[in-house]
Amino acid sequence: MPEISYRQAIKDALAEEIERDENVVIIGEEVAQYNGAYKVTEGLLDRYGPKRIVDAPISEAGFIGMGIGASMLGVRPVMELMFWSFAYVAWDQMINNAGCVRYMSGGLINVPIVIRGPANGGTNVGATHSHTPENLIANMPGLKVVCPATPYDAKGLMKSAIRDNDPVYVMESTLLYGNKGEVPEEEYIIPLGKADIKREGTDVTIVCHGPSVGVAITAATILSSEHNISAEVVDLRSIRPLDEETIIESVKKTNRAVLVEENRPFCGVDAQIAYLIQNKAFDYLDAPVQRVSTIDAPAIYSPALEPEQLPKAANVVDKVLAIM
């Protein structure tokens, strides 16, 4: 099985869906002639032309609104945000329109749009370019949110997102674009709402998503080699719909849980998962659920200080040791 980058996996998914369905178009800032701010769309303009790969002005509310309108007429637009931090400019379109149209039309009008782009910190681009809004978006009914952590997941989830008849918001991580992993050459999709156990374990469950998956796997390796603790790593892959069954079954097996998230702790995704565990697996817990989040402040610009703000494997190891 060939190894390709996370960036290439997303591009392959876009290309395959453009070829499979004539209604799929790519729209966004610098996606065409510049080949994408992070080169995810590199070469697609030459292959598919300006009717399928469309540059948009720097006006997120404008071009996201245009994509939502087009999706209501049968187009399947994939909209690229240069950073997810810029999504707030288009919040009214993304929340009030994309998320509500199907409800408000009594199920008569679908909005099959994908909005994708880089999120998360770690690249020293400052407070206004490092947001992780998956918890905010997942709070809104009608919207689906996925956070792929590997090239395999990125391709399979992107293809499912494009084929979905509801708005799907795909949070990629800037730090993951260069990561490589095995991806099949043959066709495959990954259903939205299905978590993946990235590492089997018996002593503690570590729940994570996006870039925190790598942190959790590193922590699990340390726990095994230095402390003889077997940690099970559950990658959510999809925030909404959420695979509650995989989380609960893992906690029932290990009786302990540590939740890892590159986001601030207040009202984070992990807060919802902590509630889920205490509500559906309370009798199986041998210790309180623990959380590892970012420091509760805007992202730090300094290359020396930003890593200290993000979740680290050492933080996860400490939380696990505290409940063993």
Give me the catalytic one of 17, 29, 80, 129.
Answer: 129
Q: Is the bond preceding residue 191 a cis peptide, omega within 30 degrees?
A: no
Evaluate if residue 123 carries a pLDDT over 80. no
pLDDT tens digits along 208-251: 999 999 999 999 999 999 999 999 999 999 999 999 999 999 99
Q: What is the pLDDT of residue 150?
A: 98
pLDDT tens digits along 302-321: 888 888 889 999 999 999 99
Give me the catalytic one of 17, 29, 60, 262.
Answer: 60
Evaluate if residue 297 carries a pLDDT over 90. no
Q: What is the pLDDT of residue 132?
A: 86
Instruction: Kindly write down the DSSP assignment for every residue of 207-231, as one continuous string.
Output: EE-TTHHHHHHHHHHHHHHHH---E
pLDDT tens digits along 27-56: 999 999 999 889 999 999 999 999 999 999
The residue type of 103 is Y
Q: What is the pLDDT of residue 201?
A: 98
Q: In the structure, what pLDDT confidence band is assigned to residue 261 with cuts at 50, 70 and 90?
A: very high
Give the percent of the chain with pLDDT over 90: 87
Q: What is the pLDDT of residue 125?
A: 80
- Tell me the backbone φ, ψ of residue 144, rounded to 5 degrees: -110, 145
Is residue 113 within 8 A of residue 98, CB to CB? The reply is yes
pTM: 0.95
Q: In the structure, what pLDDT confidence band is assigned to residue 151 with cuts at 50, 70 and 90?
A: very high
Q: In the structure, what pLDDT confidence band is assigned to residue 130 with cuts at 50, 70 and 90?
A: confident
60 among known catalytic residues: yes
Give how far the C-alpha of residue 183 lies from the chain's centroid of Cα atoms, to the nearest Å.
Answer: 18
Q: In the structure, what pLDDT confidence band is assigned to residue 1 with cuts at 50, 70 and 90?
A: confident
Alpha helices in 106-167 (DSSP H): 134-138, 151-163
129 among known catalytic residues: yes
Q: What's the whole-number average pLDDT of the chain? A: 95
pLDDT tens digits along 4-35: 999 999 999 999 999 999 999 999 999 999 99
Q: What is the pLDDT of residue 91?
A: 93
